[in-house]
Chain A
Amino acid sequence: MKVFHFTEQPYPDAWDQHQGSLRVVLPNRVLDPAIAAERFHRYYDEWKLADELGFDIMVNEHHSTATCMASTVIVTLSILARETKRARILVLGYPIAHRPDPLRCAEELATIDVVSRGRLEMGFVKGVPYEIPVANTNPVFIMERFWEAHDFIIKAMTSHDGPFNWEGQYFHYRNVNIWPRPFQQPHPPVWSTTSSRGNARVLGEKGYVIATLGSGYNTRALYDAYREGWHSKGRREPPPADRFAYLALVAIARDEAEARRRAELVAGYPRTSSIVSPPFRNPPGFVSVADNARLLQGKTPPRSFTKDGKVVNMASASVQELTDAAIMFCGTPDQVYAQIVDFTQHAGGLGNLLMMGQAGHLSHADTVDSLTLFAREVMPRLAQFKQPVAA
C-alpha cells in the first residue's frame, strides 16, 4: 500500500470570521499575506519531510476559500517537482473542466512530469459545486467539458508526429504539438474522484485509479461499480489494489489521549469544509433532475456510514463517529494499523491511502511527529500487508 501525505494548505487563521461562508464570498482582506507565506513554507517543509520518510505526496486546489490556500495547483506541483527526490506526486485534482485552455494544462503537466523525472500522478476532477460560481463554468455542461478536456490532454500527451487539429464542442486548436512531451510513457497515470456508482463504472471501464473521500463503509459499493466497469471491457483478472484510492484523515500519536487531541484539530477539515452560502452548494445542472426533484422534497441521500450502517454527517460528527465511519483513522500506531486493515478488507483491496496528515490547526510540530511516527510504526507493516483482491 502506498501512503500519500496530503494537506489542503488551509488558512485556519480566518476560520472564525466566515459569517456563513468560508468559500466564494469571504473577502481576502482577512488573509494576512505574511502569515500565508509562513504557512506555505511550512506545508512545503512537511511535504519534503514526507518525501524523506517514504511517503508519496498528494496536492490539490480550491478557489476563493480559507479552507485551502492553494488556488493554482500547478505552482504547488512545480515547487515539489524540484524540492522532492523520490515521492510520487499526485495532483487530485486538477479541475480541467474549469480551465479555459486544456493545451496549457497539457503543457504544464508534461513539464512537471519531465522536471520530476516521471513522478507525476495526474488526477482530473469535476470539482466541488462551490467551484462553479468562481470559475463561472456552465454547470450544465461540466461533465461534457471535462471529458473533452481529458480526451484532448491525453491526445496531446501521446501525439509525437507533429501537430494535430482539434475542433471540438468546447475547445479549438490548429497546431497541437506540446513541448516537452511527458517523461512517462504513454502518459502519467490518470486518476479521478467520484461519489457516484455511474461515474465509478466509467472509471473502471477506462482502468483509471478511482479515489473516494468520506465514503466510509459505503466505499465497497463504489469500488464494486468500478469492478463492473473494469470487467465490462473484457479484462479477465480483477483490478489490482493499486487501482483504488481512499482519502482519510489520520490522527496518530504514541498514546490514545494525544491522538484524540490531534484528531480534534484535524477534524477542523470536515467541520469547516461545507461552510458555504446555500445557493452555492447546488448549482443548476450539477446533479441530475431526478436528484434535484428529490432534494426539493427534502430528501438528501446520506453519504457516509459506519460499519454497522449508521449514517454519519461529516460536518457535525464527533471524532468517535468519524473514526467509526472510517472517515478518520485515529489512535496509537497499533490502532491506526488495525483500522486501515479493517477498512481495506471492507473495500476488497486498497492500494493507495491518501492520508490527510495535516488539517486545520494541527501544528507543524504535531504534523512532523505524526508523519514520523506513521512512517516508522505503520508504513512498514502496511508494506508487508497482503492485499485482498475482490473480483
Chain B
Amino acid sequence: MATGSTAVTVAGVRIEMVERGTGRPLLFLHPAIGIDPAAPVLDALAAKARVIAPSHPGFGGSDQPKDMNTVDDLAYFYLDLLEALEIKNAILVGVSFGGWIAAEIAIKSTERIGHLVLADPVGIKVGDRETRDIADIFAMTEPQFNERAYFDPAAAKRDYPAMAEADLVAIARNREATARYAWTPYMHDPKLKGRLHRIGVPTLVLWGAADRIVTPDYGRAYAAAIPGARFAEIARAGHFPHLEAADDFSARVLAFAAGRD
C-alpha cells in the first residue's frame, strides 16, 4: 500500500486508492507506469474536485485477480467501483492505458459519468495491418522509451538502486500487469473503435504535443470517432501530460468539466 493511499475492496478485489479533495467526483485512471500519490496533478485536481485515483487491479499495490486479463475486465471492475461508491456525474479522466480503460467504460455505460477526458489514450486500431499505431514499448530500452515518451527525457530518469523495495516491486508489477492486459492485440481492442459512437457525454481528447509513443494524429482519429469530442494539444509535454504539464493539464480538465472550455 503506497503512502497516501487507502485500501478498498470492490467486487472482491482489494485495491489501493488515493481519495483527496471535495466536490464533484473525479475518477482518475493512471497510465501503465502507475500513479504516485504524491504526484502534483492529484493535488491540482483535488483543489476543485473529489479525486479518486485507484491503482488498477494488478498494478502498484492492488491485488491481481487471476481471472482478470483484459481491459474489458478492468472496465467492468470500474463500473462496479462507481456503483459501490454511489458516484454520480463523475468526471472520468484516463491517461494512456488508463484512457483506454476509460473509453471501454464509456462505451458500456455513462450512467454515472458526466464528462470524459482522454489524455494520450491507447486502445484503438487506426492504421493498416502492417503499421503499428503504438510504439512497441516492450522492444525498447528504458532510455529509448523515455526519449519517445517525454518532452524532457532527462527528467524521467530514475535511480533504481536508491529506491525503496516496495516501489521497485510496484514498478515490476506495473510492467507485468501491462503485458498481462495489453500484450496482444498490442495495446488495443480491435472492437473498440467501432463502439466509440456509443459515448454520449461531452468528451475532451488531450494530447501531449511531443508524444512519440502515440502521435497526435492518432489522437485526432480517436476524437473523430467519438460524437462531438474535442481535441487539444498540450505544449511541452509528451505521452504523460499529467506529469510534464500538471497545472495546464488540470486546468483544462477542470475547465472542461465546468463547461467553461
User: A: which residues have CB within 8 A of B?
Assistant: 133, 136, 138-141, 277-280, 283-285, 289-290, 292-293, 296-298
Contact = CB atoms under 8 A, between A and B. Distances in A.
Contacts of A277: 139
A296 B165 CA distance: 10
B172 A293 contact: yes
A298 B161 contact: yes
A140 B180 contact: yes
Contact of B139 (A280, A289, A290): A280
B171 interface: yes
B160 A296 contact: yes
A139 B168 CA distance: 20
A285 B177 CA distance: 8
Interface of B: 69, 138-141, 144, 160-161, 163, 165, 168-169, 171-173, 175-176, 178-180, 183-184
Contact of B171 (A278, A279, A280, A296): A296
Given A279-B140, A279-B141, A139 B179 contact: yes
Given A279-B138, A279-B141, A285 B180 contact: yes
A284 B178 contact: yes
Contact of A279 (B139, B176, B178): B139
Contacts of B173: 289
A138 B172 contact: no
Contacts of A133: 138-139
A285 B176 contact: yes
Contacts of B175: 284, 292
A289 B169 CA distance: 6
Given A133-B138, A279-B140, A298-B160, A293 B179 contact: no
DSSP majority for the B interface?
helix
Contacts of A280: 139
12 contacts: A136-B183, A136-B184, A138-B184, A140-B183, A141-B69, A279-B139, A279-B140, A290-B172, A293-B168, A296-B163, A297-B168, A298-B161
Contacts of A139: 179, 183
Contacts of A298: 160-161
A86 to B, nearest CB: 44
A165 B159 CA distance: 52
Contacts of A293: 165, 168-169, 171-172
Contacts of B184: 136, 138
B172 A292 contact: yes
Given A284-B179, A290-B169, 7 more contacts: A140-B176, A140-B180, A289-B172, A293-B169, A296-B168, A296-B172, A297-B160
A77 to B, nearest CB: 29
Contacts of A296: 160, 163, 168, 171-172
Contacts of A278: 141
Contacts of B163: 296
A279 B69 CA distance: 23
Nearest to B174: A284
Interface centre among A139, A279, A283, A297 (most CB of B within 10 A): A279
Contact of A283 (B138, B144, B160, B172): B138
Contacts of B69: 141
Contacts of A141: 69, 180
A113 to B, nearest CB: 33
List the 9 closest A-B pairs by CB distance, nearest first: A284-B179, A292-B172, A138-B183, A293-B168, A296-B160, A285-B176, A140-B180, A289-B172, A284-B175
A297 B183 contact: no
Contacts of B176: 140, 284-285, 289, 292
A173 B173 CA distance: 34
Contacts of B160: 296-298
Contacts of A285: 176, 179-180
Nearest to A277: B139
Contacts of B168: 293, 296-297
A278 B140 CA distance: 8
